[in-house]
Every structure is written in C-alpha cells, then in structure tokens.
Amino acid sequence: MSAPSVILETIDVTQRFGGLVANSNVSIKVGRGEILGLIGPNGAGKSTLFNAIAGARIPTSGRILFDGHDITALTAPDRCRLGIARTFQVPRSFDSMSVVENVMVGSFVRASNAREARQLALETLHFVGLGARVEDPAIQLTPPEKRRLEMARALATAPKLLLLDEVMTGLTPSEARLGVELIRKVRESGVTVVMVEHVMEIVMPLVDRAIVLHLGALLAEGKPTEIVRNDAVISAYLGDRHRAA
Amino acid sequence: MTQETQIPAQDLPHDAALTHFAKSRRNQLIRAAVIFAGIALVPLAVRDTYLQNVMILTLLYAAVSQCWNILGGYCGQISLGHALYFGIGAYATSVLYVNYAVLPWFGMALGGVLSAAVALLVGKLTFRLKGHYFAIATIVIAEIGLLLVHNWDYVGGALGIQWPITGDSWATLQFARNKLPYFYFALVFLIVTWLITFKIEDSSWGYGWRAVKDNPEAAESLGIEVFRSKMAAAALSAFFTAVGGGFYAAFVAYIDPESVMSFRFSLLFALPAVLGGIGTLWGATLGAALLIPLTEITRSYLGGSGSGIDLIIYGGLIMLVSLMKPEGLLSLFQFRKGRPA
C-alpha cells in the first residue's frame, strides 16, 4: 500500500489583518517527496501562507490538512510532533547554547535520553556540513552557517515536511550552490520541501514545481519552465511594460 | 561553509564525541565533590559562632539562589518575587510545627508542595508577560503575599511565630548552641540543588528551558510547549526555595513577615546567580560566597538592616559586573571557552 501522494493541502485559506487581506482563498497541494517553491513579489502573501502552514498563526478561515490530519487549529509544537519542521527568515539560533545543543533541542522530539539526542544531533550536523563546529557557541557562527544550523535543528526532529523561509537570501553564489546541494540531499532522504523564496534564479532550477502568489491570491502554478513563460507571472514581477520584452 | 562534507554520517566517529562529553560530565562531578568536601572541612577550622552563622547563611543563600537560577537562569524568567516561596516554606514549616507538632522535615516538604502549587497559580497569571513586565508582576504578587501574612492572625500577623525552646534534636532541627548541624544541613541542601541543576543541564528539560529563554518562537517550532516548560521550571524552583525557607525558620526559630518575605529576600536570591553567572552550574554558589559574607559584615559594622547600605553595595557590584563582565564572574574562570584555532 502506498502512502497518499498529497502530503499537505490548504483549502481556501484566508488571512485578514484588519482590513488587509494577506491571503485570500489560497488552495494548494504539495506532493509527497517534491520540492515546491512558493514564490511571488514582495507582499504577495508568501510568508503569511508559510506561517499558516507552520502554525505560527491560525488563518481567519479555511483548512489545512497534513498527512491525514486536519492541522488548522493545531499549535506549532503539535505540528512539529506530526512531522512539520521549519526555518526562520531571520535565523533564530539559541545563542546561549553550543551548536550541538541547539540541534539537540530538535532531536529530543524523538530521542528518549540525552545521549541519544546528542548522537542524533551529531549525525544531523554532519549531514548538513557543520560537523567541524559542533562544540562552538552558536553565536559565533557566520550567517550562512546559522542557516545550516537552523536546517539541522529542523531536520533533527525527523520531519516529513520541511518548510524553508528564504534560506537563500543573502548568500553568495557559491554559498547558494552549496545550499541547493543540501536541499537536494534533504529531499533524497525522503523529506518533502516547501521553500519560500524570491530569488528566482536559485529557486527555479531547484524546485519540481512552483506556486506563484500575487496580492494574496494564487496566480499560477506549474513546472518552473512553464512559470517563467507565464504572462501573468511576468507582469506581476516586472510590470505590464515588460511583457513584450 | 567553504567545503562540503561528503562522508556519510554513520561512518563518522560520534562515539568519540559522546565519550568525550560523558568524560567532561564526570570531571565536573569530581570537581564538585572536591569543592563540596573542601567546604565541609571549613567549620572544623573556623570555630567562631558568628563566622559559622555567616557560613550557614552563605550556603543557604547559595542553595536558594541555585533554585532561583532554575527559573531565572535556565528558563529565562526573571522572578523578583521568590521571597513569596521562601516565606510560604518558612510559614508552613513554623505553623505546622508550633501549632500541630508536625516535625519540620515534613513541614518543609509540605511547604514545598504548597509553594509549587502557588508558583503554578502565579505562573498561570504572569507567564504571558514578557521580560520586565514579568519581573514587575512577580514583585507585586510577592508584596501582596507579604501584606496578606501581615494581616493574618492565624499565622501570627505582624508579630510572627516564635518556635518553642526545646533540647537539641535532629528531629525538630533545634540546636541551641551547636551550629554545625545547621551548617551541614545547609551544605547538603546546596549539594542537592546543585545535583538537580547538574542533572537538568543535560536533559530534555534543561535544553528545552534554555531554548525557551533564547527564543520562544524557535523553541515552539521544535516541539517545545513554552508555557508548560515555564510552569515546570517555576514549580521546581518554588518547591526547593520553600524547603530553604523552612530550614531558615528552624535555624532562626523565630519568623515574622519582614524577616522572611520582604523584597530584600527576593533580591538576595536573584543577585548571587546574576553576580556569579546566570544560568550556570556554579554561578549561584560563587555569587553567594562573595555577596553574603559582604552583606553580613557590612550589616554588623554599619548597623542593622534598616540602613540599607548593604543594598547600595551590591547594587554597585551588579552595575560593575554588568558593565565589565555581563556573563557573570564565573566567566573569568572559563579558560576552555577559547578553542584552539
């Protein structure tokens, strides 16, 4: 028996902040094992949708289904235990702790004792390429290393779905290349990846499918090659003037 | 992040890292055993009753500050109302012993349970508050407690409770002349709180609490129930703070509201940990070893507790520490932190 092919589904998710509608009736499906890009210009509602999926904010209306559960009203810790892990747009490392201790916080979700948690954390840190820095204080890491640390922390919870919030922002091209390799490796290990990104050049070669949001609503979805040729997407990103160009 | 690690995870020598960590934990225990054994020998050399009193108070404050550190240092919730829990312990133990002849040992345990329950109630009201607002709320609640006890005749009101004079006995924790039993009780109490902190440091609770302190949102995303974590830390901290209060009542054999529940005590429980190194294993003990003798000596030379000169002195000390060494004095001793390049 094979698992259902849709791991995450949002149904008519709407988020209002007072008079502002940040997401309006957004319905998306994420397939098990795919890398999905959630893209759109600034203010398109990517982060709002991301936060609704991660559990940081419960949407005004609509439902979110994950792996056979209705998670619309679940708290972030409950979602974590069901198998959703996330990173933050601005890395939020635990700065009073060492690198390995940061990751142990995540691995305690499935470890029964501290030794096991440490072992899992060390394995995860080697997986993301931070094996040489395990004992360093987290505060000493460089920004790209902090992003890796967040990935490690999230992966240590053994998620089924990993939500990445602009992990590529601010990286040099060579750092971004390493990041892309890492995300591919994560997917190969069986984790579904949803990434919010607005750097198109990085996302497009990496993702299997992209969903474009514009002004809080779904604008387009499809393979990257289709998306980059989609007229609506081009005008949303560049304005109508550039459509002909 | 300049080169990619391509070695599969399972081939890496994690066992070495785990063994290394276990060894460093063992070394910490050995070091603690040596330090505590050293402290245990001190009263054999120092016979003076006044100095022994100062040492007993130092150990007691070190232990209670260690309890405060669980909530304030590890979980990051700066309580300035721990005098409430100390007072609950002192009053529960005194009332049970004086009115119902319940031995202080049981009184301390019951006081601890009561105090933990009150801490949960206080937590329910205050843990939604952040930072300074939380600290202010704890001050206010402790002051309310002080006022209630002041006006509550059943527990002696403003007059307090006098323990009856009895013969020396471990059962009632009453020793008229000999200070050594109190010294060793306080030392064992400190060792117990130290061991609890030591155990917590490398446990899911300890890592969870520190995550809550550093970044609650990130902690939640990793499966930690932030509110419940704070409640657990508060209950544990309040339980042992009350045990300290019960012991203090037995030690001085007379309590009144001002002598166990005034704001001064809340400060004296927080300051040693802050001075020595907040959220560290030895911070509270080191801080108390400096602060309490200083307090007691200035008080005896400069007059009673009313003058508040001692408070001025450690206000100054805290300012000095936060300007020069915000991590606390303990960071002066941490040579290992500078790792080889």
* pLDDT 10s digits, A31-72: 999 999 999 888 889 999 999 999 989 999 999 999 989 999
Whole-angstrom distance, CA of residue B34 vs CA of residue B336: 20
The beta-carbon neighbor of B4 closest among A118, A154, A181 is A181
Task: Please tell me the predicted confidence (pLDDT) of residue B208.
Answer: 97
Characterize A196-211 residue by residue with b for buried, 16 or more Cβ atoms within 10 angstroms of its Cβ, and e for exposed: bbbebebbbebbebbb
B248 band by pLDDT with thresholds 50, 70 and 90: very high
Interface test with A, best of B6, B21, B201, B207 (most A CBs within 10 A): B207
Question: For chain B, what are the domain ranges?
Answer: 49-260
B339 band by pLDDT with thresholds 50, 70 and 90: very low
Q: Are B215 and A92 in contact (CB < 8 Å)?
A: yes
- For residue range B29-48, list pLDDT tens digits in order: 999 999 999 999 999 998 89
Q: Is A3 helix (H, G, I), strand (E, B) or coil?
A: coil
Interface test with B, best of A112, A122, A153, A164 (most B CBs within 10 A): A122
Which residues of chain B are within 8 Å of residue A55 when distances are taken between CB atoms? 220-221
pLDDT over 70 at A4, yes or no: no
List, in sequence order, every beta strand (DSSP E) within chain B. 161-162, 254-255
Of the candidates B318, B306, B305, the one whose C-alpha atom is nearest the C-alpha of residue B270 is B318
CA-based nearest distance A238→chain B, Å? 34
Average pLDDT, integer, range B328-336? 69
Q: In this structure, what are the phi and psi dihedrals at residue B315, rounded to the nearest 5 degrees?
A: -60, -45
Token representation of residue B34: 């040596």
A3 band by pLDDT with thresholds 50, 70 and 90: low
In CATH, the number for domain A1-83+163-245 is 3.40.50.300
Interface test with A, best of B2, B222, B224, B334 (most A CBs within 10 A): B222
CA-based nearest distance A109→chain B, Å? 7
Whole-angstrom distance, CA of residue B158 vs CA of residue B152: 8
ipTM: 0.91
Residue B314 CB partners (closer than 8 Å, separation 6+): B271, B275, B291, B294, B295
How much of chain A exceeds pLDDT 90, in percent? Answer: 75
- For residue range A204-221, list pLDDT tens digits in order: 889 999 999 999 999 999
Residue B254 CB partners (closer than 8 Å, separation 6+): B160, B161, B162, B163
- Helix boundaries (H) for B202-262: 204-214, 216-221, 226-252, 257-261
Q: Are A122 and B12 in contact (CB < 8 Å)?
A: yes
A-proximal residues of B, 204-263, CB under 8 Å: 204, 207-208, 210-211, 213-215, 217-226
Q: Are B214 and A54 in contact (CB < 8 Å)?
A: no
* Cα A40-A43-A49 angle, rounded to 5 deg: 70
Task: Please tell me the predicted confidence (pLDDT) of residue A163.
Answer: 97
Per-residue DSSP letter, B21: H
CA-based nearest distance B12→chain A, Å? 8
Which residues of chain B are within 8 Å of residue A131 when distances are taken between CB atoms? 5, 12
Q: What stretch of H or E contains A28?
A: strand A20-31
Average pLDDT, chain A: 91
Average pLDDT, integer, range B1-27? 68
Q: Per mean pLDDT, which range of A102-116, A129-143, B168-182, B246-260 is the poorest?
A: B168-182
Task: Please tell me the predicted confidence (pLDDT) of residue B338.
Answer: 40
Q: In this structure, what are the phi and psi dihedrals at residue B80, rounded to the nearest 5 degrees?
A: -115, 35
Token representation of residue A162: 């990993």
pLDDT over 90 at B305, yes or no: no
- For residue range B99-113, list pLDDT tens digits in order: 999 999 999 999 999
- For residue range A125-143, list pLDDT tens digits in order: 999 999 999 999 999 999 9
CB distance from B6 to chain A under 8 Å?
no
Q: Are A97 and B214 in contact (CB < 8 Å)?
A: yes
- For residue range A179-198, list pLDDT tens digits in order: 999 999 999 999 999 999 87
Which residues of chain B are within 8 Å of residue A135 when distances are taken between CB atoms? 339
- For residue range B192-231, list pLDDT tens digits in order: 999 999 999 999 999 999 999 999 999 999 999 999 999 9
Q: In this structure, what are the phi and psi dihedrals at residue A9, rounded to the nearest 5 degrees?
A: -140, 130
pLDDT over 60 at A236, yes or no: yes
Q: Per mean pLDDT, which range of A11-15, B95-99, B165-169 is the poorest?
A: B165-169
CA-based nearest distance A23→chain B, Å? 22
Higher pLDDT, B68 or B327: B68
Average pLDDT, integer, range B37-63? 94
Task: Please tell me the predicted confidence (pLDDT) of residue A198.
Answer: 77
Q: How far apart are the first and last CA of chain A?
A: 50
Chain A / chain B CB contacts < 8 angstroms: 115
Task: Please tell me the predicted confidence (pLDDT) of residue B324.
Answer: 76
Average pLDDT, integer, range B149-158? 90
CA-based nearest distance B49→chain A, Å? 42
Question: For chain A, what are the domain ranges?
Answer: 1-83+163-245, 93-158
Which residues of chain A are within 8 Å of residue B207 when distances are taken between CB atoms? 97, 101, 104-105, 108, 117
Average pLDDT, integer, range B118-147? 94
8 A C-beta contact, residue A222 and residue A210: yes
Token representation of residue B194: 């130290």
Sign of CA dihedral A144, A145, A150, A152: positive
Average pLDDT, integer, range B77-97? 96
The beta-carbon neighbor of B5 closest among A94, A122, A126 is A126
Interface test with B, best of A50, A87, A94 (most B CBs within 10 A): A94
Q: Are A92 and B7 in contact (CB < 8 Å)?
A: no
B166 band by pLDDT with thresholds 50, 70 and 90: confident
A-proximal residues of B, 266-285, CB under 8 Å: 279
The beta-carbon neighbor of B1 closest among A55, A95, A129 is A129
